[in-house]
Structure 1
Amino acid sequence: MTTKDQTVITVAATVNAPIDIIWKAWNDPSHITKWSAASDDWHTTKAENDLRTGGKFNSRMEAKDGSFGFDFGGVYDEVIPYELMRYTLGDGRKVKITFEKNADGVKITESFEAEGQNPIEMQRNGWQAIMDSFKRYVESARQL
Structure 2
Amino acid sequence: MESVKQVTVETTVQAPVEKVWKYWTEPTHITKWNSASDDWHTPIAENDLRPGGKFHSRMEAKDGSFGFDFGGVYDEVKVHEVIAYTLGDGRKVTITFKGQEKETQVIETFDAETTNPVEMQQQGWQAILDNFKKYAEQS
TM norm. shorter chain > 0.5? yes
Report deviation, 1:52.
Answer: 0.3
In structure 1, C-alpha distance between the alignment counterparts of 2:116 and 2:44, rounded to whole Å: 24
* Aligned residue-pair number: 138
Partner of 2:41: 43
Give the secondary structure class of the aligned counterpart of 1:47.
strand
Cα shift at 1:101: 1.7
Aligned residue in 1 for 2:29: 31
CA distance in 1: counterparts of 2:48 and 2:65, whole angstroms: 29
Unaligned runs of 5+ in 2: none
Runs of 4+ in structure 1 over 6 Å off: none
Structure 1 unpaired stretches of 5+:
none
1:102 positional shift: 3.0
Aligned to 2:127: 129
**Residues 68-118 of structure 1, C-alpha deviations (whole Å, 9 max, x = no match):** 100000000000000001100000000000001236611000000000000
Q: Do 1:14 and 1:104's aligned partners in 2 also have CA atoms closer than 8 Å?
A: no
Pair 1:106-2:104 in alignment: yes
Write the deviation string for residues 19-44 of structure 1: whole angstroms up to 9, x where unpaired: 11111100000000000000011000
CA RMSD of aligned residues (A): 1.1
The TM-score with structure 1 as length reference comes to 0.93
| Distance (Å, rounded) in 1 between the aligned partners of 2:113 and 2:63 | 25
Q: What letter matches 1:68 in structure 2? A: F
